[in-house]
Amino acid sequence: MLLSVENITVHYSRLPALRNVSVEVDEGEIVCIVGPNGAGKSTTLLSISGVLNPTSGEIIFDGQKINGMNPETVARAGISQVPEGRHVFTTLNVEENLRIGTTIRNDRAEIEKDFKRVLETFPVLAERRKQSAGKLSGGEQQMLVIGRALLTNPRIMTIDEPSLGLAPNLVDRVYETLTELRRDRGLTLLIVEQSSERALKSADRLYVLRSGEMQLEGNTADLQDGEKVRQAYFGFEEGTPQEGGVTF
């Protein structure tokens, strides 16, 4: 297993935001964690990238315990995080934004090769190489932050809600690109999304997280009818009366 999150509990305050959460990602897989707003998806990714330190449990990457390491050490080990919200530096141009991804590397010659490859993968970034990143559309900015993460030369990339605020056709385009990156480079991906439909379409395996606890794990091929996922996601069977007599 390339990445194993083993029974982590994470606190911001007295109440835990994650309780005994486990996630596994194998080399070359696309794994998606889905769940409603506030489920703990971002908390999971921030724990993996070393921004948050779990109170208990372990995170093992390529056989090495990484919880407790700082974010830079985790990034150097080969985990690249694309955080929620497409953070580009609007005062820098597209190329300068991309090159930030290379600052943790020392392999000059390889960096230039990878840089060319990223521009080939994202022709729109090549066209706008010298333009201010602030002028890019939302979809282009999402490509830019993925390109920047690729330039760290990661073994696994984690992405927090890549589809947030994008028009459906752009979401399709982003996921096509991610699928191509897996196919062409063997990139391993751990993606977090609110939409289970998107995860069922694009991932190999899926986890459903709700209220800080893992509810379901499975191959997307076995979950295509969506019923089990819906139940895990919402926490009750559709049509059954809820506390207070409200029927959903």
Ligand X SMILES: Nc1ncnc2c1ncn2[C@@H]1O[C@H](COP(=O)(O)OP(=O)(O)O)[C@@H](O)[C@H]1O
Please report, as ranges, the residues that interact with Mg ion according to CB under 5 A: 41-42
Which of Mg ion, ligand X, none does residue 40 bind to, with CB < 5 to 8 Å depending on kind?
ligand X
Name every residue whose Cβ is closer than 8 Å to that of residue 169 and which is 6 or more positions away in sequence. Answer: none
Please give the helix or strand (H or E) that residue 219 lies within, else none: strand 213-219
Report how far residue 161's alpha carbon sits from residue 33's, in angstroms, rounded to the nearest whole number: 10
| Binding of residue 147 to ligand X (CB under 6 A) | no
For the bound state, the minimum distance from the C-beta of residue 102 to ligand X, rounded and expressed in Å, comes to 28
Provide the 3-class DSSP secondary structure of residue 143: helix
Shorter beta-carbon distance to ligand X: residue 38 or 138: 38
| Binding of residue 41 to ligand X (CB under 6 A) | yes
Residue span binding ligand X (CB under 6 A) among the ranges 32-40, 72-80, 111-119, 223-231 = 32-40
Of the candidate residues 31, 40, 80, 166, the single one contacting ligand X (CB under 6 A) = 40
Q: What tokens were used for 222?
A: 């076995």
Shorter beta-carbon distance to Mg ion: residue 39 or 69: 39
For the bound state, the minimum distance from the C-beta of residue 66 to ligand X, rounded and expressed in Å, comes to 19
| Binding of residue 39 to ligand X (CB under 6 A) | yes
For the bound state, the minimum distance from the C-beta of residue 163 to ligand X, rounded and expressed in Å, comes to 14
Please give the helix or strand (H or E) that residue 3 lies within, else none: strand 3-11
List beta partners, residue 189. 30, 157
Task: Count the site residues for ligand X by CB under 6 A.
Answer: 11
Q: Where are the beta strands (DSSP E) in 35-187?
A: 56-61, 64-65, 79-82, 156-160
Asked if residues 13 and 206 have their Cβ atoms less than 8 Å apart, the reply is no
| Binding of residue 85 to ligand X (CB under 6 A) | no
Shorter beta-carbon distance to ligand X: residue 151 or 229: 229
| Binding of residue 35 to ligand X (CB under 6 A) | yes
CA 183-188-194 angle, to 5 degrees, is 105
For the bound state, the minimum distance from the C-beta of residue 8 to ligand X, rounded and expressed in Å, comes to 12
For the bound state, the minimum distance from the C-beta of residue 231 to ligand X, rounded and expressed in Å, comes to 18
Name every residue whose Cβ is closer than 8 Å to that of residue 156 and which is 6 or more positions away in sequence. Answer: 2, 3, 25, 61, 78, 79, 80, 187, 188, 189, 190
Residue span binding ligand X (CB under 6 A) among the ranges 11-19, 94-102, 116-124, 140-148 = 11-19
Query: What is the number of the residue whose Cβ is closest to Mg ion?
Result: 42
DSSP state of 4: E
Residues that bind ligand X (CB under 6 A): 12-13, 17, 35, 37-43
